[in-house]
Each structure stands twice: as C-alpha cells, then as structure tokens.
C-alpha cells in the first residue's frame, strides 16, 4: 500500500521511533511544531477519522492513552501539552493514515488560528 505511515510501520522508510507495542507506533515528527512533537499512529491502516468503525474504538483510546504516557515520560504531563488529530483537507490533514499529534514543551494558545 502506498501509505507513508504504513511504510514507517513496516520499516520500509526510516523514522525516529520512540514507542511501539502490538497496536500502536509513535515517532518524532519530521517538522516539529514544539520542542517535543510526536505522532502516535495505529498499526492498522485507517485513512481518516471519518473511516473509524465501532471496532476501532479501543484503538483510538490506545492512541490517547499512549499520548498521555509519552507526555509523562517526556516530563511535561503536569505542566500541560496538546494533542490533536486533523481530518481531511480543511482540517489540515496531509498524511492519510490517522495519527495523533502530541506536542509539549511550550505554551499553546486557544482558540488556535
């Protein structure tokens, strides 16, 4: 399958992998928007949030749970951090394999621009 993140999962292209288990993979974003910027992805290919099915609910929980775990390990869980998922073009999605952004190490403003 011609999917960048599936290729990272299959070790066909390199990435700075920070966490892996049976269900999810996490790696540093190549174009970080914060001192720490990781992407947490499911090991199964799901193109967008719109493609989620009920059978995937536990998997999405794992993405969120892994983000919190990595935030604790990185040391910014208490001070705060941001997680987000972009969906489709107007949402800013550029890679069509769902991923959770975990960003920390700076202050984030809300509402975002």
59 binds Zn ion (CB under 5 A): no
Do 71 and 81 touch, CB atoms closer than 8 A?
Answer: yes
Find the binder of Zn ion among 18, 19, 45, 74 (CB under 5 A). 45
Nearer to ligand AMP, 47 or 59 (CB): 47
Nearest distance from C-beta of residue 92 to ligand AMP, angstroms: 5
64 binds ligand AMP (CB under 6 A): no
Q: Cα(86)–Cα(96) distance, rounded to whole angstroms?
A: 10
Nearest distance from C-beta of residue 1 to Zn ion, angstroms: 6
End-to-end alpha-carbon separation of the chain, Å?
34
| # chain residues binding ligand AMP, by CB under 6 A | 12
Helix residue ranges per DSSP H, the chain: 4-9, 57-74, 88-91
Do 103 and 40 touch, CB atoms closer than 8 A?
Answer: no
Q: Which two tokens stand for residue 102?
A: 């975990």
99 is catalytic: yes
Find the binder of ligand AMP among 30, 54, 109, 112 (CB under 6 A). 30
- Looking at the annotation, which residues are catalytic? 99
């Amino acid at each position: 399958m011609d999917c960048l993140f599936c290729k990272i999962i299959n070790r066909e292209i390199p990435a700075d992998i920070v966490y892996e288990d049976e269900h999810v993979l996490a790696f540093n974003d190549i174009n970080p928007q914060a001192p720490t910027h990781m992407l947490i992805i499911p090991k199964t290919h799901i193109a967008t949030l719109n493609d989620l099915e009920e059978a995937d609910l536990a998997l999405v929980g794992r993405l969120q749970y892994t983000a919190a775990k990595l935030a604790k390990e990185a040391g910014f869980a208490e001070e705060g951090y941001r997680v987000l998922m972009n969906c489709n073009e107007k949402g800013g999605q550029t890679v069509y394999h769902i991923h959770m952004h975990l960003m920390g190490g700076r202050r984030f403003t809300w509402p975002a621009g």
